[in-house]
Chains A and B, each alone.
Chain A
Amino acid sequence: MSLADTQRLIALLATDASLRTQLLSDPLAVAARYGVDAKTAQTLAKEIAEEIERFARSLIGKRRNEVCKLLPRTKRVLGNCFDDLFRLYAKTTLPNGTKKHLQDAVQFADFLHTKLAAEKQIPLWIAELARYEASWLEVRTHPCLLIRGFRALTKETAHLEANPSLNPALRPRRTLALWLRLPGKERIYHTYLTLF
């Protein structure tokens, strides 16, 4: 088995939970699918599958740690649920490039909003808080004019860090938020308008 084939298979195993499961249950099928000799696939399954699983978990843990730093308010309101929800999200996505952690944070916020809040697995205001936090990251990375509408974002939600005792779920508001950052400039102009 060539180095290129070995590396391709390891990269896929490290990032694809279903392939790791298949390697354990049917190494010969994995061998056939990826052009690997049967002996190598069986050796991987027998000798290092557990270690690759551990490696994959640490990879997701590293992504989670970085996203926690980028979405601190979301982390705080989700508490212990953050880790479980992030693992759920991380199974389906793999960010890339030198801004991959930013990309991960923005995509996680989108996942909370479009999937979990839409399916009522988490309150809408939490998903919108994540989307609000991620909007700052987007504008910091790419200068632009960004206008977003929120159905449950309140002044209290947006400033949750300063008012940790407030429960924003009690006072949902429709809000329009605007960010503007000009190319080459550091300053971000931000305002929001609570409609009703």
Chain B
Amino acid sequence: MNPNLPTLGVGFGFRAPYLSSLFLHREEVDFLEIVADHYFDPVPEKQRELELLADHFPLIPHGLSLSLGSAEGLDKNYTRQLVSLIHRLKPPWWSEHLAFTRAGGVEIGHLTPLPYTWEAVEAVCKNIREVRSQVEAPLLLENITYTFRLPGAEMTESQFLSEILEHTDCGLLLDVTNLYINSVNHGFEVADFLNAIPLERVVQLHFVGGEWEQGQLIDTHSQPTPDAVWEVMRDVLRRAPVKGVILERDENLPPFPDILAELTRARQLWQGVTE
């Protein structure tokens, strides 16, 4: 993992309704993360939007459907479009989820957990090798939330993640909300997880708030960040060489000042632990 990645600061996952507000508050957002899939084969207005954003902000492409965990390999068409976008933007890094979204000709449309097995480790590493042979920019892997764990596990989630990071020399996009949600739903300690993963590989963080639904905490990206997640973030910022922090709000979009308030809080938190 390249230790000389630039520090990008604090930003948010770009969503089109915020376009005009974003430019009114240009100085309060350090960088943006864009959903890569939204700019594949873009219509002219999306192309123009991408160019506008790229002219004013560092952009980090974030993939949703590369399906790095698919045993059947990568989808060539999706990979080609993703690689083309990354080549166009020349970002300092890009990111994808540690999950599968496609199998047996079925596109699930959702990040689906992998079994924590050596066979899955090998499948992910093979797919990562393939995509990295086409892209120079460093790849960050993101931890997902999961409502179920597949039977037959040969290791814990933290071991699974660590094995893949070490074998592929990838960075980690640690979603502190996902980590917190999994710890609540599956009954483990956040601290144990953090102690078991290579924190020196953490490059970027995601944070947002979820919702309770039928006794489970769900990663809906629809609420302000809860205090418990801020606490996890504080701990990670203190211990890991983080280069960028992204608020990832997708649903129930609040007025832009609420987004800015969360970015300010993240910035203050970060400054507080590094002073």
Contacts and interface: CB of A to CB of B under 8 A. Distances in A.
A1 B65 CA distance: 24
B72 interface: yes
A63 B251 CA distance: 12
A141 interface: yes
Contact of B103 (A10, A95, A184): A10
A185 interface: yes
A3 interface: yes
A43 B115 CA distance: 14
A173 B214 CA distance: 46
A190 interface: no
B43 A47 contact: no
B71 A15 contact: no
Given A15-B108, A55-B147, A4 B214 contact: no
Given A58-B147, A186-B45, A8 B110 contact: no
A97 to B, nearest CB: 8
A100 interface: yes
A4 B216 CA distance: 29
The SS class assigned to the A binding surface is: helix
B214 A95 contact: no
B143 interface: no
Interface residues of A, number: 38
Given A4-B72, A7-B104, A43-B151, A58 B110 contact: yes
Contact of B104 (A12, A63, A100, A140): A12
B103 A4 contact: yes
Given A11-B104, A47-B151, A48-B148, A3 B109 contact: no
Interface in B147-169: 147-152
A15 B123 contact: no
A186 B47 CA distance: 10
Given A185-B44, A186-B44, A11 B102 contact: yes
Interface of B: 37, 40-41, 43-45, 48, 65, 69-72, 78, 81, 100, 102-104, 106-110, 112, 115, 117, 119-120, 123, 147-152, 214, 216, 218, 251
17 contacts: A3-B117, A3-B123, A4-B103, A7-B72, A11-B106, A51-B147, A51-B148, A55-B148, A58-B218, A59-B110, A96-B109, A97-B107, A98-B40, A98-B78, A100-B109, A186-B43, A186-B48
